[in-house]
Amino acid sequence: MNATRTPAPRGLHHITAIAGDPRENLRFYRDVLGMRLVKKSVNQDDPDTYHLFYADDVGNPGTDITFFPWPHAKPGRPGVGVVEETLLTVPLGSLDAWQARFAEFGVGSNPVTERFGERTLPFSDPHGMRLALVEAEAPFPFTAWDASPVRSEHQIRALHGARAPVRELAPSREFLEGTLGFRHHGEEAHWHRFVLPGGKGAGAGHLLDLREDSDGRRGEWGVGSVHHLAWTVDDADHQVGVREAVEAAGRRPSDVIDRFWFESVYFMEPGGVLFELATAGPGFTVDESHEALGERLILPPWLEGSRERIESVLPSLDEATA
């Protein structure tokens, strides 16, 4: 089975990374970047740590960056198979305002540069995660957050894409194009851009940049590194179809895992980057009202009996103010 018979994923759903102190993480993504905390939960495989979700006002798929805060974990090691930069879409003409905001808050950033014809502002978060703001048209539905400290006309609109080095480009390219339906958009400064159907221009929200580094050492997950890239599938049927294509390509996908707000399948692409297929729904309001998103700790049903113990070991986020 290949992309001609199975609909390709619809673009990014979310990106999950590893953070340090959760209060520092919240202060930065909510109070500096102006994103809304739309879900406060726990890592379902390690419930003694948070899983924090930041997105637009309603948590639309494609606007969501999430974190596992492990304060005592070692820093991640950059290298092949690990995403080295996460790209976020901002409105055209907004980077001057963002540069001023970064200067106000002491955020380390590099000069604005141009990549694949897009104005880009690289920067780092407090835990060493490398990100970049990219001026482009919003790739996904977006709802401004009225309570954001960032003006609505400058707010981060969505996930733009990601960049990762791989030891060999050819196997990843064959898999992306032949199984998942990406197309090769072009090459610039040794970076090869791959874009899913539906992406406009250089592919905002639908893109993955890969660079071949044949002598590079394997990267390692840790604080400041991306854990996985999640791509959107419409529903369970779409997910099954793409999963079958991934399995036929020899990538050994996981079984479907119910995450309550979406269902997930995980696998590694040939270069070692961990991918997820996440369904578009049911979404973050399935267990909280829109008005109350992110206000209380949400636990999966099988952990409700352990709520008291879990809450006793998680640090309070109430004092995490700018």
pTM for the structure as a whole: 0.96
Q: What's the pLDDT tens digit per position in 93-103?
A: 999 999 999 99
* 29-49 average pLDDT score: 97
Strand partners, 166: 212
pLDDT band at 318 (very low <50, low <70, confident <90, very high): confident
3-class SS shares of the chain: helix, strand, coil, % to 5: 20, 35, 45
* Interatomic CA distance for residues 105 and 111, integer angstroms: 16
Domain ranges of the chain: 12-313
CA distance 87 to 259: 25
User: How high does pLDDT run on average in the chain?
Assistant: 96
For residue 321, pLDDT beyond 70: no
Give the pLDDT confidence score for residue 4 in this predicted structure. 46
Superfamily (CATH H level) for 12-313:
2,3-Dihydroxybiphenyl 1,2-Dioxygenase, domain 1 (3.10.180.10)
Q: What is the pLDDT of residue 245?
A: 97
**Which segments of the chain are extended strands (E)?**
12-19, 36-43, 46-55, 64-69, 85-90, 113-115, 118-124, 130-135, 158-166, 183-188, 191-195, 207-212, 226-233, 257-258, 263-268, 274-279
Rounded Cα distance, 124 and 317, in Å: 22
- φ, ψ of residue 245 to 5 degrees: the values are -65, -40
